[in-house]
Structure formats: C-alpha cells, structure tokens
A and B are shown apart, each in its own frame.
Chain A
Amino acid sequence: MADEATERAAVLDAIERIATRIERERSALTELDSAIGDADHGGNMARGWRAAADAVADLDDPDPATMVKTAGKTLLSEVGGASGPLYGGSLVFASTALDDGITAETAVAFAETYLEKVQDRGDASVGDKTMVDALVPAVHTFKKSIEVDDLPPAEALAKAVDAAERGVEFTVPIRAAKGRASYLGWRSVGHQDPGATSTLFIMEELLAAAQAELDTEIEAVDATSPTVPEEEAAED
C-alpha cells in the first residue's frame, strides 16, 4: 500500500484528470445524449466534475475517503438529473470502503459498493442500455483479476477498462429499457449509451492516474527485485 501522501496525490490527480477529460468530451457526450436523451449529459457532467475537482483541491489535509466523498457530494449538488444521484450518490456511499486507505482489497470493495448502489438506485440490469452495461463487466473483471488472477491493482484496472469498453460497444445494438431513452423504444437501437460512455471515460482516467501515481510507487518499492524473470535472463 502506498503512503498517505501518495494516495492523496493519486486521488487528487484522478479527479483532476476526470474533470479535464469530461470537459474535453463534453460535446461528444452531449451528442450521444441528444440522440436518445435530453442532451444535457455533457454539460451537466462537465460542470459537476469541474466543481468536484475544485472542491477536493480545496480540502485541508484530507484522507482518500473524504476526498471521494466530497467529490460525490459536489456531483450530487451540481449535476442534477439522474447522473447526480447515480454518479455522485454512489460515490458518497462507496467512499466509506476507502476508510482504511487504498489497497487492492479496499479498491475491490469500493468498486463493488459503487456498482451495487448504482444498480439499486437506477433499478437497472445488464442489457437495459445504461451505465450498468459498462460497470458490471468492469467491476467483475477487476475483482477476478485481483482475487483470482492475483494481478497488481493497476493491471487489474487496465483489464477492467477493456471490459468496460466492450460493455459500451454492447449498448449500441440493444434497445433501451431504462431512463429517458426507454421512451424511444426501438428508435434507441443503434445509439451508444451516454452514461456507459462517460463511465468508460472516468475509468480510463482512473487507470491513467493509477499508472502515473501508484505504479511508480509500486516500482520504487520493488526496485531491488529483478526486472527480467530469471529463466528468460538465463536464456540470454
């Protein structure tokens, strides 16, 4: 586990990266949402994440759980619509999983709690053409990569991002059963879900932050171990 200062830097970096990315994707998200929704996803999310990044940066000497909780609360008050409670409310709820800092174990607990809250709040299942279609495969892949395959967290997160990406693609051909898009029925077919898409963007930025902040820490700790497996080294 990384020390407190590294964790704090990683969380701050992650939220800042997410805010910047969502700002950059603002019109792309709005375009997706104008096809099957009310065209406010890009604007709402960009406003919310910018406010969240600013609020977290203003915190005095915070721990990771407080930082995530603050981001969630800010999203809740700034984003509105369904995205406020789904993204913000779920972050607030899941933040307590990080009370003991960020480890592989608490990260899995955080991801599972977040998913649980999103599904519970939105009453959505896989195949409803929502963010759940990206989240479910991502969280399951993350958990399996850590608990069964014993991968380091950043590698597990990379696999989860892959899974989320396939989940986003899966939303294109299916018919919406939840949210505003469900009013469109078959006309929602052929459009990519905006919530699944922004969920993927967020996960990609989490990965970038984990690789930039936490991996260097992990490498520094492992600096004494050989970088090439011994068998391969012997063949050279």
Chain B
Amino acid sequence: MVGLVVVSHSRTAAEGIAEVAAEMGGDTVIEPVGGDGQGGLGTVADAIADAIEAADDGDGVVVLVDLGSAVMNAEVAIELSGVDAVIADAPVLEGAVNAAVAATSPTATLESVREQAEAARDVNKR
C-alpha cells in the first residue's frame, strides 16, 4: 500500500493534518514530520528521510509538503532514503486528504496517489 508523509515547518501542524487525512484514509500509513529538531519551526532532511522509510512498505511513498525549504529538505530526504518516493505538488492538507483516500483503492499506484493529491490544487472552497 502506498504510504504518505506529511511535512510541515510545524510538527503540530503535520500531526493535525495527518489526523484529518487519516479519518478518510482507512489503513493508509500517514507519517507526520516537522520542526527543526530543537523545539522550533523548520524542516530537517534526516527526520523526513526517517518518516519516508517508516511509511514505506514496498509500494512507495507520496510526500506532502508545506512551504519553501520543506520542498528542498524533502528532495534531499528522498535521495537519502533510497525509497521510491515522490513529492506531490499540492496544498498540504487537501492533498493529504485526497492522497489518503486514493491510497485505499485496490488499484492504487504511486502515480495515481500523487495525481489525486495534486488534483487538490483545483479544489474550490465554495
């Protein structure tokens, strides 16, 4: 099953987003990660790499990210982890919910889950 990682500058935000996505995601593994490792805001590549490895059961991982350096650190983390992982170019919460739902499909692939996450870019609020 495709796994998910939610990366935010705020560890609390990442946990909250994972919590919302899990409500729709059945058995999908969703790993939240964030913070600078010193109790402050930020992202650290090593920590993201650990989360990617924890979320992977062999079918790959879709990574949702928030702002700026989260993207860069997620890219480095993917290189470090050696897991088949991709970053979804999507809003982090809506993307995580979409991806969690898509991952529950019996025919889900890394690409189909990423596509569904990225479809969240077009979600209108009203």
Q: Which A residues are within 8 Å of any B CB, using their own CB?
A: 38, 40, 44, 76-77, 80-82, 84-86, 88-89, 121-122, 179-180
Contacts and interface: CB of A to CB of B under 8 A. Distances in A.
Contacts of A179: 68
B44 A80 contact: yes
A12 B43 CA distance: 28
A85 B76 CA distance: 7
Interface residues of B, number: 15
Contacts of A44: 36, 42
Contacts of A76: 45-46, 76
B28 interface: no
B46 A82 contact: no
Interface of B: 36-37, 40-46, 68-69, 72-73, 75-76
A121 B68 CA distance: 12
Contacts of B46: 76-77
A138 to B, nearest CB: 22
B43 A180 contact: no
Contacts of B75: 85, 121
Nearest to B73: A85
10 contacts: A40-B40, A80-B42, A80-B45, A82-B73, A84-B45, A84-B69, A84-B73, A85-B76, A86-B72, A89-B76
Contact of B42 (A40, A86, A89, A121): A40
* 4 closest residue pairs by CB, A with B: A82-B69, A77-B46, A80-B44, A80-B42
B68 A180 contact: yes
Given A76-B76, A89-B76, A84 B44 contact: yes
Contact of A85 (B36, B40, B41, B72): B72
B81 to A, nearest CB: 13
A81 B36 CA distance: 7
Given A40-B42, A85-B45, A89-B45, A80 B73 contact: yes
Nearest to B72: A85
A38 B46 CA distance: 21
B73 to A, nearest CB: 6
B70 to A, nearest CB: 9
Nearest to A76: B45
B44 A77 contact: yes
B45 A82 contact: no
- Among A81, A121, A179, A180, the most chain B Cβ lie within 10 Å of the Cβ of A81
Contacts of A86: 72
Nearest to A120: B75
B116 to A, nearest CB: 26
A86 B46 CA distance: 14
A76 B73 CA distance: 9
Nearest to A77: B46
Contacts of B42: 40, 44, 80-81
B65 to A, nearest CB: 13
Contacts of B36: 40, 44, 80-81
